[in-house]
Amino acid sequence: CPVRFTLTAGQKGDAPQAATLIEGLSAGVVMADTAYDADHLRQAIAAKGALAVIPNNPSRALKYPLDKHLYAQRHL
């Protein structure tokens, strides 16, 4: 299971970094926390043929299904 991260300044948001993190990634599943819940990221993951396992932001009007069993396995 590949793990990727990028170090940024504290005031940088999480979701804007996501495009770099999934670039060139070949995976069937991409797991991320709620900070990465953005339509553009979900679309980019789907375009790669992968499943986005990302909890919905509480303010999201359209909720996406979440495989809670799979999400629980995200801890290393």
DSSP E strands in 7-50: the ranges are 29-31
Per-residue pLDDT for 50 more than 70?
Answer: yes
Spell out the domain ranges in the chain: 26-74
C-alpha count within 13 angstroms, C-beta hemisphere, residue 39: 4
For the segment 51-64, the average pLDDT, to the nearest whole number, is 95
**pLDDT one-digit tens code per residue, 25-49:** 788 999 999 988 999 999 999 999 9
Tell me if 43 sits within 8 A of 21, measured CB to CB: no
Closest CA to 33 of 57, 63, 2: 57
Tell me if 71 sits within 8 A of 31, measured CB to CB: yes
Scanning 1-76, the segments in alpha helix (DSSP H) are 18-22, 39-47, 68-71
**What is the value of pTM for the model shown?**
0.80
Considering the chain, what percentage of its residues have pLDDT values greater than 70?
95
Q: What is the mean pLDDT of the chain?
A: 86
